[in-house]
Amino acid sequence: MRLGILGTTEVRLNDGTSAPIGGPRLRGLLALLALNAGHVVTTERLIDGLYGEDPPQGAANALQAQVSRLRRVLRSAGPGELIEFHPAGYRLAIDAERVDAARFERLMAEGQRMLTVGDHERAASRLREAIELWRGPALADALDAPFAQPQATRLEELRVAAVEDRVEAELALGRNAVVVALLPEVVAAHPLRERPRGQLMRALHGAGRQAEALAVYQDIRVRLADELGADPSPDLVAAHLAVLRSEPAPATVPVGLAAGRTAPPAQLTSFVGRADDLVAIGTLLRTERLVTLAGPGGTGKTRLAIEVCRQLDCDSCYVDLATLNDGTEVPQALVSALGLRESGLLPPAGDNVNLIPQLVLALADQRLLLLFDNCEHVIDAVARLVHQLLAACAELRVLATSRESLGITGEALYQVPQLGLAPPGTPPAELPRYPAIRLFANRAAAVRPDFAVDDTNGDAVARICTALDGLPLAIELAAARLRALTVAEIETRLDDRLRLLSRGSRTAAPRHQTLRAVVGWSWDLLDPAERTLARRLTVFAGGTTLESAARVCGLPEDDVDELLVGLVDKSLLEHDNGRYRMLDTVRAFGVERLVEAGEEDRLRRAHADYFLELTRTAAPYLRDARQIEWLTRLVPEHRNIHAALHWAVTADSVLALRLVAAATWYWWLRGLRADGAALAAKLLDTLGPQPPADLDEEYVLCVAKAAVALGSALPAALDRAESVMAAIERPLRQPATMVVWAVVGGPARTRRTAHEEQIRTDPWSQAVAHLGQGYQCQFRGDLAGAERELTAGLAGFRALGDRWGIANVLDALAQLANWRGDWPTFHAYINEAIEFTGQLAAVEEMADLLFRRAEGLVRSGDLTAGQADYERAAEFVRRAGARDKLATAHHGFGEIARLRGDLAEARRHYQIALDECGTGWYGDRIERVKIHLGLARIAEAVGRTAEAEHHLHEALDSALTHSNIPVVAEAVEVAAGIALLHGDGGRAALLLGASVALRGTDSPRTADFIGLSESARNLVGVQAHAAAFARGSALSRDAAVSLVSRPPADAPSLQI
């Protein structure tokens, strides 16, 4: 099957017949798909192509129906669906060679190459074959479709050019008669086209028909003068003189501009990154005649455009508009760049003439790519000129760089992105994969040849590139400061980036020499209303919506809507899915303008008030089935909440305390343990030891939020918070306070009666209370009580649809199953907990759950799967920047290495875990206990009794202090190993039994427990082992604990 669009649209079957297609709309659809054969055409492009810029309602459904009808037509051509559906649109699944237009363009290109190298016979043959594919005007029966006319014009221009090139080959072969027969039709259709006129003159002259040749020249001379006010080109004048002198006429070629033309400037530095952008822009330029690279200042538009020209390896001309004062100078700039004055094709500069007709004449036959650079300050004039040139010069293509689009029909806008940034926590070895990092390293090495991104500076380099929004110019300026500063010093100075990055290349354009100049150039192009909104928007740290911008900036929403669009068009804002974001670099400049206007305090207070209201409004919805909906609203405001708190901590401590309390539940749902902690700690210093009036709950939550940042001050702060909490006798206002009361403090440690009514009447509070009681039972070793309370809590949270509560209860139930060795139940609970936590996108919480699943897998003997989960969890931790949690990963890697018998590797990981482990917070202390127990087991394995006892002491001091009975049980098990080192198998069996009593379960089915039991049995025999084990397992919890907490004199066989 072959498709034809060079004439009427047709489907030519293998037997030579044509398949009936249908009406004009169906023909238009087939033609549009055929023009892009083998490539996906987006649904939006198909609708625009068939219906124009204002499609009717239901256009998408109509398109789907037309595709179905077209599929039925094409099924007659053979088996299989030739129109494929893709998520983005549709694809005509045939080789482009089976479309006559694509075959024509290939044959034409081959003919031109042969003509260039002087292979005239084959060139004429190829071009003749290409021309013969035409059956009539291109897209003749589809011209009503909006896409068709530009494509038909383009193809017609290619056809004429093919005829001209074929004529050139025929002339070189001396076939004047063939040329005289071919050209009159072309000349009649294009009376102002000079190349075919010159070719016809040469053919007539060569055939001895000089008078007719002179008549052809006279006709074109008069037409040019009358219609364009121009003279014939030098090539045409030369052909005329050759006829007059009876000399051989010179070969004609398209008007020669190359000699005086300004080429894109050569670059002195290497081009880094942007490989995907180069491919995308190159692809656009093969199908579109106008492509605009848009983006904020410093994003690398000019360098990217120059590299595109270099890679396309086509004739191009560079037009630098940066130095122009106004739009009237744009045509003259193009004239100068083309070298037309110097070539004599235009009058001397200063002649008061309209240059556009002469530009059209000079460019009419040119296959040329014009690069208009820095259009934004003369945008209207550039748009008018480009529109006129493209309409008149079919072979011309334009690539423009601008901070806003030209806004004319046919423009393909390519938004130049910032360079790719490394996600937080990326290992240093992987950082060079990211373009922003590579650019920094490349430019840094230019000023410091010994510089390389490594473990010592990688994280700081990544943060610098992120802080600079991935803007190439800003990154280059920062890297240049390595002449005098270290990477760490550059990072600390980024708060004043406009001052830091104030020295650039002396040879760069003034607007590119400093970061301030780059932003100032764009700022100065704004009108007064746009500047007002832009400076006020700088209080938003994480972007804004139309509604929040209007509320905070104090402007009517209708006005703000229009102004936001203008700021997006001028690349001062980025727009994505209803949100507007200002680059931090632009924002730094705008903050200076906000301060100058005397508006900063008022706008920052309005910003903080707005986000306090938003977080308070969200609170009830974050505890039921609407969690995801409201998290989706809050997550984009993450940086705004932090910025509001940052301002309020120093400006209004009461407002700051309210904001901490309102945001705490959002932070907890997302697992953002450290977020805002340093600010909360600073706020506590400001507030002192007692809460402000009526803000007791808020004070408790501030302590809870500050915990990870308080270090050695944490115990005293927790004591104060517990005292404040215990004194609250009214119903709790804050959901997070209920969790602190029920889960952290525990109902048993505060006045439960004060909150019984709230628990009884509020289902969520009731579920939280069950969760808290379940934890307390778990820590006491009351597994039956824990399971009872947790099951009740799970039912409550499921009824509410609270994913946070469901996940936390499932996690706790999974731990019970882990201790019992009930692996099917463990996996069912932990996997469901992971699923719900994933829905909350809580990265740190997801890491914790993966760590716990990994621990269960290792305990059950599946070391390979456990290793995979530990590695995946470690990746989550790195991404979240929660470096202290790497301790859990390395503890897990150590356990796996120890169980595999690689004790040296196990010790290495345990030591890294100790180094990474935080201090002061409950979870960190328990992790430290487990690491010491692992080190004690290694010491036992190699017979180092004193070392094992040291690590056991370190573990027990913390485990007993915090009354975490399951961890104490593991310590008792380790103590059994030390008893074996002393040769006391009976005491080892007693301690193993005591560990079972503490766990409240049957004997754990782990490799460690089984190995210790077998060793003790081998020492004392089966019966004695059984008797001692039974005595240990019958002990009360206090008695079991006392076995390892007695002074050494009371336990002579186990010196601890």
889-903 per-position pLDDT tens digit: 999 999 999 999 999
Kindly report the CA angle at 524 between 555 and 534, in degrees rounded to 5? Answer: 25
**CB–CB of 580/574 below 8 Å?**
yes
Whose tokens are 């893709």? That residue is 86
Whole-number Å distance between alpha carbons of 473 and 615: 37
Of the candidates 22, 9, 3, which has an alpha carbon nearest to the alpha carbon of residue 68? 22
Phi, psi torsion values for 404, nearest 5 degrees: -150, 160
The pair of three-digit structure tokens given for residue 381, joined into one six-digit string: 């004039």
Helix pair 965-981, 922-941: axis angle to 10 deg: 20
Q: How many Cα atoms are found within 13 Å in the side-chain-facing hemisphere of 283? A: 10
Q: What is the reported pLDDT for 770?
A: 92
**CB–CB of 890/909 below 8 Å?**
yes
Of the candidates 952, 958, 1024, 1019, which has an alpha carbon nearest to the alpha carbon of residue 993? 1024
Low-confidence residues of the chain: pLDDT under 70: 77-80, 117, 248-261, 266-270, 313, 340-354, 365, 495-515, 518, 521, 743-758, 881, 918-924, 962-963, 1046-1056
**Sheet containing 411-415: order of strands:** 316-320, 368-373, 396-402, 290-294, 411-415
**Sheet containing 40-42: order of strands:** 40-42, 89-92, 83-86
Amino acid at 573: L
**CB–CB of 200/179 below 8 Å?**
yes
Longest dimension (CA), the chain: 132
Q: What is the reported pLDDT for 99?
A: 92
SS3 content of the chain, % helix, strand, coil (to 5): 65, 5, 25
Assigned CATH topology for domain 920-1056: 1.25.40
| Cα dihedral: 956, 957, 960, 964 (round 10) | -70
Kindly report the CA angle at 646 between 645 and 650, in degrees rounded to 5? Answer: 100
Whose tokens are 């979870």? That residue is 923
Whole-number Å distance between alpha carbons of 5 and 147: 13
Show Cβ contacts of residue 873 under 8 Å, excluding neighbours closer than 6 positions: 846, 847, 848, 850, 851, 854, 888, 889
Kindly report the CA angle at 861 between 858 and 865, in degrees rounded to 5? Answer: 60
Q: What is the reported pLDDT for 255?
A: 36
Amino acid at 606: A
For the chain, give every domain's residue range: 1-173, 258-415, 428-517, 618-709, 920-1056
CA distances, 190 to each of 196, 981, 1030 (Å): 9, 104, 108
**CB–CB of 855/866 below 8 Å?**
yes
**CB–CB of 512/473 below 8 Å?**
yes
Of the candidates 1030, 932, 1045, which has an alpha carbon nearest to the alpha carbon of residue 990? 1030
Kindly report the CA angle at 766 between 763 and 767, in degrees rounded to 5? Answer: 90
Amino acid at 213: A
What's the CATH number of domain 1-173, 3.10.20.310, 3.40.630.30, 1.10.10.10, 3.40.50.1820?
Answer: 1.10.10.10
**CB–CB of 464/419 below 8 Å?**
no
Show Cβ contacts of residue 454 under 8 Å, excluding neighbours closer than 6 positions: 428
Which helix (DSSP H) or strand (DSSP E) does residue 147 occupy?
Answer: none
The pair of three-digit structure tokens given for residue 634, joined into one six-digit string: 């809050």
How would you label 48-72 residue by residue, b for 16+ Cβ within 10 Å and e otherwise?
bbbbeeebeeebeebbeebbeebee
**CB–CB of 513/505 below 8 Å?**
yes
**CB–CB of 518/473 below 8 Å?**
yes
Q: What is the reported pLDDT for 1050?
A: 40
For the chain, the residue count is 1056
Other CB atoms within a 10 A radius of the CB of residue 841 amount to 15
CATH class of the 258-415 domain in this structure: alpha beta
Whose tokens are 């003159």? That residue is 201
CA distances, 897 to each of 858, 893, 938 (Å): 11, 6, 11
Q: How many Cα atoms are found within 13 Å in the side-chain-facing hemisphere of 853? A: 27
